[in-house]
């Protein structure tokens, strides 16, 4: 158990809908990272927050947004969902940001299926 929790574990929804994925980092970790894992694209970095502020952006679509709250948990919002958004979404946390050499600790993931 990495100490990172993600809810829900599974999510099935329809095209055009909006969903929210939630992540609680390990105790004491200030950085939260979101990744998308799909069969054809591999593991893609989406976005990073550090202590409530956005710090780095990867291949995140404009339809997707995220935030980190004062208690350090984070939410990833996916809207106007398309079939191609079906994937595993991982949250990871670390004490520092990308500029440190800390390893990241990954949650169990949320499997999103868009029908």
Partner 1 sequence: AQSVAQPEDQVNVAEGNPLTVKCTYSVSGNPYLFWYVQYPNRGLQFLLKYITGDNLVKGSYGFEAEFNKSQTSFHLKKPSALVSDSALYFCAVRDGPNSGNTPLVFGKGTRLSVIA
Sites of contact with partner 1 (CB under 8 A): 2, 4, 42-43, 45, 48, 55-56, 58, 90, 92, 97-99, 101, 103-109
- Name which of 58 and 84 has its Cβ closer to partner 1: 58
Tokens 């670390």 found at: 94
Smallest distance from partner 1 to CB 50, Å:
8
- Name which of 17 and 100 has its Cβ closer to partner 1: 100
- List Cα–Cα distances, 64 to 13, 57, 82, 95, 100, in angstroms: 16, 11, 12, 25, 26
Smallest distance from partner 1 to CB 110, Å:
10
Smallest distance from partner 1 to CB 30, Å:
13
Smallest distance from partner 1 to CB 15, Å:
25
- Name which of 72 and 92 has its Cβ closer to partner 1: 92
Query: What is the pairing mode between strands 105-106 and 64-68?
Result: unpaired
Residue 94 burial (CB < 10 Å; 0-12/13-18/19+)? Answer: buried
**Given phi > 0 = left and psi -120 to 50 = alpha, else beta, which region is 56?**
beta
């Amino acid at each position: 158990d990495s100490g990172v929790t993600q809810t829900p574990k599974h999510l099935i929804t329809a095209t055009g809908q909006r969903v929210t994925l939630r992540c609680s980092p390990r105790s004491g970790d200030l950085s939260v990272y979101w990744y998308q894992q799909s069969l054809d694209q591999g593991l893609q970095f989406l976005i990073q927050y550090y202590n409530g502020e956005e710090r780095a952006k990867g291949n995140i679509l404009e339809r997707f947004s995220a935030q980190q709250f004062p208690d350090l948990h984070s939410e990833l919002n996916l809207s106007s969902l398309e079939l191609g958004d079906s994937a595993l979404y991982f949250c990871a946390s670390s004490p520092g940001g990308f500029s440190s050499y800390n390893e990241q600790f990954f949650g169990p993931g949320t499997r999103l299926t868009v029908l």
